[in-house]
Structure 1
Amino acid sequence: MMNCLRNWPEPVIRVQHLSDSGIRVIPDRYVKKPSDRPTPTTVLESPATEVSIPVIDMRDLYSGDDALRKKTAALIDGACRDWGFFQVVNHGVSHDLMRRTREVWREFFQLPLEEKQKYANSPSTYEGYGSRLGVEKGISLDWSDYFFLHYLPMRARDCNKWPTLPNTCRELVGEYISDVVKLGGKLMKIFSTNLGLTEDYLQEAFGEEMGACMRVNYYPKCPQPDLTLGLSPHSDPGGMTLLFPDEDVSGLQVRRGDNWVTVKPIPNAIIINLADQLQVLSNSNYKSVEHRVIVNSVKERVSLALFYNPRSDIIIKPAEQLVTAEQPALYPPMTFDQYRLYIRTRGPCGKSQVESLESP
């Protein structure tokens, strides 16, 4: 990474500390410009603003009925082309493991600040306890803290950087990520087949040493939720995100045309979010979707995002089978490291990165 990513440009303030201090007015750095602020109805989480993104039961994918398998695969294909987001149930990840992993992270964020500070991160890898994305000085900040850790490739994994408290954290995290990565691999095969590619095409395009990392998002209560966001609008730069949201309170919003819709989580479901590298590989047959997170004044939120990514130094480009005279290659070849440097420098910026690469 570039030298500019070695240190944060300003002192890091923990958003949880601001929330717990009892302030009634949020600092100016967290106030979004009027056009970017959530509307009062979304902040209040009116049921009218919530919508269920496609919900897909994966059980039939493993049945002996070929028609049911094809029907489920077709539902996934439709969700990828129409939404770029969907929820899966009967996905094979233990509900108990999901719940315990989320709760252990909730406990971590309630530890004394000095304990969490042992894991304070830097922008060189983002690994550890953090409170900002992007290193440009003076950028608008989001109302959230997080913990970021690497899992794959093995050479990038350093379990010593994972929290030792609570005592079960490291064990649960390893087990949870392993199972969610397996789910990601199953979905990659389905995506490949649905696109008309060989079953293993997308996985092979990601490289033998693909990347997997997790960001645990902590959104503290906010005294002025109508002025800020927990996470600014963006599309994820990697391949796919598998999100286990907080089921007690909604927060994720997906752009649908000119509107933002609040996703209502389904108990024990995992939200699948297509990211920029799948948009590139599919030559825009599948698209990543802009999304953001709202906060509220009543409840904190904890969510677990698993990023399923290409190997950092592998070249990603549109699949040759999806390039035709009618639909030429829309994106130039680029490594994932080159691509994600943009968001690591500037922070979340809508879909400006992937759109800037599209051929006219």
Structure 2
Amino acid sequence: MDSSPDSLIGYDFEFSHRLRFLSWPEPIVRVQSLAESNLTTLPDRYIKPPSQRPQTTTTNHKPEAATINIPVIDLDSLFSGNEEDKERISEACREFGFFQVINHGVRPELMDAAREAWKSFFNLPVEAKEVYSNSPRTYEGYGSRLGVEKGAILDWNDYYYLHFLPLFLKDFNKWPSLPSNIREVVDEYGEELVKLGERLMRLLSSNLGLKEEQLQEAFGGEDVGACMRVNYYPKCPRPELALGLSPHSDPGGITILLPDDQVVGLQVRHGDTWITVNPLRHAFIVNLGDQIQILSNSIYKSSEHRVIVNSQKERVSLAFFYNPKSDIPIQPLQQLVSPTNPPIYPPMTFDQYRLFIRTQGPRGKSHVESHISSR
């Protein structure tokens, strides 16, 4: 199936037109290849300015459970009516924008199989991976940078990006064929995470005092978008100078992250502090994206986060994005605005919104903040 931007029925014309001219500004260098060349110093292109460098490095790559520090939500308990869990998830959405979920309904064996399949992919010879090399027009495939700014300071990661929904974007030919089970495993994994995304949307909606289906309807009902970015963070010779992923808030709806539970890396900004998240085994880390913040009129928060890297261990994580339909306007829901609490954000389609990160790469929360209405 042709998935070039001009063939995507229903996609915003301006978005498609501007993507047509995007290309990488410089030759792509695979970070994994750099890491495997036994570097003792870090190339200048990956050295962050002093103000952006992590303050500490991670030497203990296996986290201690006692230091878990974002809310943990038991979905079974919550759906059974546990009031403490309802309050906990409500506080997490308003204060952190992040929480972990356990008893979420996705089989642990499937989670492990998906992670292991992607580890096997990234361990293939580089020639086998280059077949799937991507471009900034869609980001679909094997990549090593975000944004098209020439001379930008880059992040220490490679990734693979693919689509699940809408179905006309789902093209198995653009998914890896090796290891031999990867397409089957990833397809089943995606189906399960779409279901989990739907459950989470009902929870978020009811906790705003809305009907359970209201946020889902604002996303386009059954016509939502879903995609996945698999992140590979190689060992880094100077982790105190680099970041695996620069600070940003996710532009979409809900992100469901399957982290590496043996190697910490995700950090969440809470006030003026970067909190290092220590993941529970077989839990998902959920974070709210900018579209949820906009729909809730900033009652819910999308939080800035980043990824630190490790000199001793590589790390693989799977980020699943549950997003609005690309061409419908997203704006604060009428039930959440009033004369004393007017809408903060003007309408904008998700396609228009995400063009910012497609072209400029991760830039903190600058886009959602620049989107605030002037009044």
Q: TM-score by structure 2 length?
A: 0.92
Q: Which sections of structure 1, spanning at least 5 residues, go unmatched?
A: none
Regions of 4+ moved over 3 Å:
3-6, 42-51
Q: Match for residue 94 of structure 2?
A: 81
Residue 75 (structure 1) shift: 2.0
Cα deviations across residues 152-208 of structure 1 (Å, max 9, x unaligned)? 000111011101100000000000011011011001001111111111111011113
Residue 4 (structure 1) shift: 6.4
Q: For 1:135-150, what aligned pairs fall within 5 Å after superposition? A: 135-150=148-163
Q: Secondary structure of the equivalent of 1:99?
A: helix
Task: Note if contact 2:68-2:279 (Cα within 8 Å) is conserved in structure 1.
Answer: no
Residue 216 (structure 1) shift: 0.3
The count of residues paired between Structure 1 and Structure 2 equals 355
Q: Does 1:33 align with 2:15?
A: no
Q: Match for residue 224 of structure 1?
A: 238
Q: Match for residue 99 of structure 1?
A: 112
Task: Note if contact 2:19-2:136 (Cα within 8 Å) is conserved in structure 1.
Answer: no
Q: Distance in 1 between matches of 2:176 and 2:308?
A: 27
Question: What code does the residue aligned with 1:86 have?
Answer: F
Q: Match for residue 319 of structure 1?
A: 333
Task: Note if contact 1:184-1:308 (Cα within 8 Å) is conserved in structure 2.
Answer: yes
* Residue in structure 1 matching 2:271, options 247, 254, 257: 257
Task: Note if contact 2:129-2:142 (Cα within 8 Å) is conserved in structure 1.
Answer: yes
Q: Secondary structure of the equivalent of 1:179?
A: helix
Q: TM-score by structure 1 length?
A: 0.96
Q: Match for residue 282 of structure 1?
A: 296
Residue 357 (structure 1) shift: 1.3
Query: What is the aligned-residue identity percentage?
Result: 61
Task: Note if contact 1:130-1:147 (Cα within 8 Å) is conserved in structure 2.
Answer: yes
Task: Note if contact 1:109-1:218 (Cα within 8 Å) is conserved in structure 2.
Answer: yes
Q: Does 1:342 align with 2:356?
A: yes
Q: Secondary structure of the equivalent of 2:25?
A: coil
Q: For 1:1-80, what aligned pairs fall within 5 Å after superposition? A: 1=16, 2-3=18-19, 5-40=21-56, 42-44=57-59, 51-63=68-80, 66=81, 68=82, 70-80=83-93
Q: Distance in 2 between matches of 1:335 and 1:246?
A: 33
Question: What code does the residue aligned with 2:95 have?
Answer: D
Q: Which sections of structure 2, spanning at least 5 residues, go unmatched?
A: 1-15
Q: Distance in 2 between matches of 1:333 and 1:359?
A: 10
- Structure 1 window deviating more from structure 2 (348-357 vs 319-328): it is 319-328
CA RMSD of aligned residues (A): 1.6
Q: Secondary structure of the equivalent of 1:12?
A: coil
Q: Distance in 1 between matches of 2:201 and 2:331?
A: 16
Task: Note if contact 2:69-2:275 (Cα within 8 Å) is conserved in structure 1.
Answer: no
Cα–Cα, structure 1 residues 338 and 256, in superposed 2: closer, same or farther, change >3 Å? Answer: same
Cα deviations across residues 208-260 of structure 1 (Å, max 9, x unaligned)? 31100000000000000000000000000000100000011100000011111
Q: Match for residue 117 of structure 1?
A: 130
Q: Secondary structure of the equivalent of 2:322?
A: strand
Cα–Cα, structure 1 residues 5 and 291, in superposed 2: closer, same or farther, change >3 Å? Answer: farther
Q: Match for residue 297 of structure 1?
A: 311
Q: Does 1:196 align with 2:214?
A: no
Question: What code does the residue aligned with 2:34 have?
Answer: L
